[in-house]
Amino acid sequence: MSNNSKVLALKYRPQTFESLIGQGVVAETIINSIKANKIPNAYLFTGIRGIGKTTTARIVAKALNCKNGIENMCKKNFCENCEAITNSSHIDVLEMDAASKTGVDDVRDLIEFSRYGPTSAKYKIFIIDEVHMLSKQAFNALLKTLEEPPEYLKFIFATTEIKKIPITVVSRCQRFDLSRIKSTELFEFIKKIKDKENGKVSDEALKLIVKISEGSVRDALSLLDRGLLSLEENTELDLNAAQRIFGYFDKTQLINLFELILKGEEKKVINIYRKIYDQGVEPKVFINDFLEILYYFKNINSLSLESTNFSLNDEEFSKIKNISNQVDSEVLILFWQFAILSLEELDIVSNQHLSIEMFLIRLMHLGSFKSKKKTDFKFEETNSNNAAINNKTETEIQSESNIKTVDQIKNISQEIKNKPEIETDVKLMDNSLINSFDELLNICSKKKEIQLKYELEKNVNLVKFERNRIEISFNDNLNKDFVKDLSSKLFEWTNERWIITFSKSKGAMSVKEKQKNKKEELINDVKNMEIYKNIMKEFPDAELLDVKLNKEED
């Protein structure tokens, strides 16, 4: 295959340490170790996809076997060994894909092959890509050779999932964590590639490619290749064309959407979203981009334009900064929580498009509700405030609702929708109502959460109950969704997050166990009474099943 017919990711693959971008520290460490003749038995390169793990492995193999030595290592005119390693045809440098050769027999063949010294190079090198795919038995077979290989044998491993490799293997390697490529560095790199290819691509389009690639050089080059091939000759790839080709939409639309949500402009919000959806943007992509915008709204004052990873241009950055100063942090944090929940919801609904529309509508009502709670009735402050509100006459409340506004953005007003007092009492509960395990059981009864109450009474042993934190132990019959259901209901009832933790301690007896013990004690007490003994004399076959106390006497 000619060099010109290769895809950009292969055509511009680095062949020397000098051309390797973003991994300067790794390259310097390896070069120094070779110069000092302190070469490890095995190298282990780990990191995300497309940042140069296999490329670095080949360059290390060249550095070890270059005929000119590390001091004068080939840079342009490659020696015989470097040329063969570049083409993956060197007899002493064996590359193996662990994804296709995972078994212990493959590793045994490798070990058997390692018994023979190198033919034409200084070292025999085994490069194993995606090494985490090897089986447990294969790793075990490799351990001894890895720890004490012959002097001429070196291993180079590459993996994207370091946690899947046994620690016994990792400890026998010199580990290098390859970092994501910085946005500015990657931008300059693909800009040079674009110039070499005589491609017409705007800087804004290149920045979009950098953002989508998430620090991966291979992804960036693949996207650039795709963008150049998607347009006719002499046509520039601008931002709009790149967004259309890669399935991304203009962030200005999302910022405008966010501003309209805060204003409560429901029709305009839905119309903007439908235009975004018609552009081919998937609902999950939309939610993730919405989360990103929320992050910028919350933290824009501590960020610079460069630190946004090219996600924003100057105009968008300024607009977010202006709006963020008019929005409470509490509203943004609540929006974030609702967006995360909606992201989970997309996995269970059949029509994700409709789910997103309802999510946006919920955000508008959430902003309104949050402001009402802060500026109008102040439910959260104290119980006495609640009592004072409940004592207001309907006329007074009606009068207040006509003159007060909901401050979602300072400068923007909305009319408060008057809601019945009963509905408010049902939806909002003071979190001070749940200060003990017994109070939690009472709330479950009032809310008719029978299944939840049953689990709490039957299968849960209380270890500790604190504000917003419950520590429990449990038996094998506990429902698998118990923690999720309880956390959800506690948040719904108190508007606060609760932490449910499991303890190794046994904890107190369950409610049902306590009731059973109390019942047995009562039965035993009755059996010791004279009246019981007299009855048993008259009816020897009788059996005492239960005891009911007189409530007034009790």
Amino acid 309: pLDDT: 60
Cβ(67)–Cβ(80) below 8 Å? yes
127, 149, 177 - which closes a domain: 177
Residue 100 in any domain: the answer is yes
Amino acid 29: pLDDT: 93
- Average pLDDT of every residue of the chain: 80
478, 502, 526 - which closes a domain: 502
**pLDDT tier at 529 (50, 70, 90 boundaries)?**
confident
Q: Which two tokens stand for residue 490?
A: 């506690």
**pLDDT(386) > 80:** no
In this predicted model, what pLDDT tens digit does every residue of 469-497 receive, in sequence order? 888 888 878 887 888 888 888 888 888 88
Whether residues 494 and 517 share a domain: the answer is no
Amino acid 397: pLDDT: 43
Amino acid 308: pLDDT: 64
In this predicted model, what pLDDT tens digit does every residue of 138-173 receive, in sequence order? 999 999 899 888 999 999 999 999 999 999 999 999
**pLDDT tier at 427 (50, 70, 90 boundaries)?**
very low
Whether residues 270 and 394 share a domain: the answer is yes
Which CATH number does the domain housing residue 284 bear? 1.20.272.10
Query: 3-state SS of 302-346?
Result: HCCCHHHCCCCCHHHHHHHHHHHCCCCHHHHHHHHHHHHHHHHHC
User: CA 524 → CA 22, 404, 543, 544, distances in Å?
Assistant: 79, 65, 12, 10
Whether residues 189 and 170 share a domain: the answer is no
Position with higher pLDDT, 426 vs 250? 250
Residue 307 in any domain: the answer is yes
Whether residues 105 and 18 share a domain: the answer is yes
Whether residues 167 and 44 share a domain: the answer is yes
Amino acid 405: pLDDT: 38
- The residue written with tokens 């955000």 in the block is 363
Whether residues 496 and 528 share a domain: the answer is no
- Report the distance separating Cα 139 and Cα 165, nearest Å: 8
Question: Length of the chain in residues, anyone?
Answer: 554
Residue 257 in any domain: the answer is no
Amino acid 490: pLDDT: 84
Q: Of 181-185, 279-283, 502-506, give the lowest mean pLDDT range.
A: 502-506
Amino acid 411: pLDDT: 41
In this predicted model, what pLDDT tens digit does every residue of 193-215 receive, in sequence order? 999 988 888 888 898 888 888 88
Q: Which two tokens stand for residue 167?
A: 């620690």
216, 246, 276 - which closes a domain: 246
**pLDDT(68) > 70:** yes
**pLDDT tier at 416 (50, 70, 90 boundaries)?**
very low
Structural domain count, the chain: 5
**pLDDT tier at 124 (50, 70, 90 boundaries)?**
very high
- Report the distance separating Cα 336 and Cα 297, nearest Å: 11
Whether residues 113 and 172 share a domain: the answer is yes
- The residue written with tokens 């409610």 in the block is 511
239-262 core/surface letters (b: 16 or more CB in 10 A; e: else)? bebbbebbebbebebbbebbbbbb
Tell me what the mean pLDDT of segment 245-270 comes to: 84
Whether residues 24 and 144 share a domain: the answer is yes
- Report the distance separating Cα 30 and Cα 525, nearest Å: 82
Position with higher pLDDT, 337 vs 367? 337
**pLDDT(81) > 50:** yes
Percent of the chain with pLDDT over 90: 21
Whether residues 318 and 369 share a domain: the answer is yes
Residue 425 in any domain: the answer is no
Amino acid 239: pLDDT: 82
Which residue range(s) make up the domain with 212?
183-246
Tell me what the mean pLDDT of segment 538-554 comes to: 68
Whether residues 375 and 393 share a domain: the answer is yes
Bridging pattern class, strands 469-474 and 460-466: antiparallel
Sign of CA dihedral 187, 191, 197, 202: positive
Position with higher pLDDT, 283 vs 315? 283
**pLDDT(396) > 50:** no
Residues 6+ apart with CB under 8 A from 48: 160, 180, 214, 215, 216
**pLDDT tier at 190 (50, 70, 90 boundaries)?**
very high
Residue 255 in any domain: the answer is no
DSSP 3-state assignment of 53?
helix
User: CA 434 → CA 155, 298, 402, 453, 498, distances in Å?
Assistant: 60, 31, 34, 14, 11
**DSSP per position, 468-519:** TEEEEEE-TTS-TTHHHHHHHHHHHHHSS--EEEE-SS--SPPHHHHHHHHH
Residue 254 in any domain: the answer is no
Q: Of 18-32, 92-106, 411-425, give the lowest mean pLDDT range.
A: 411-425
Amino acid 373: pLDDT: 43
Amino acid 392: pLDDT: 46
Residues 6+ apart with CB under 8 A from 450: 444
Tell me what the mean pLDDT of segment 241-261 comes to: 82
Residue 414 in any domain: the answer is no
Whether residues 22 and 133 share a domain: the answer is yes
Whether residues 320 and 229 share a domain: the answer is no
Residue 424 in any domain: the answer is no
Which CATH number does the domain housing residue 128 bear? 3.40.50.300
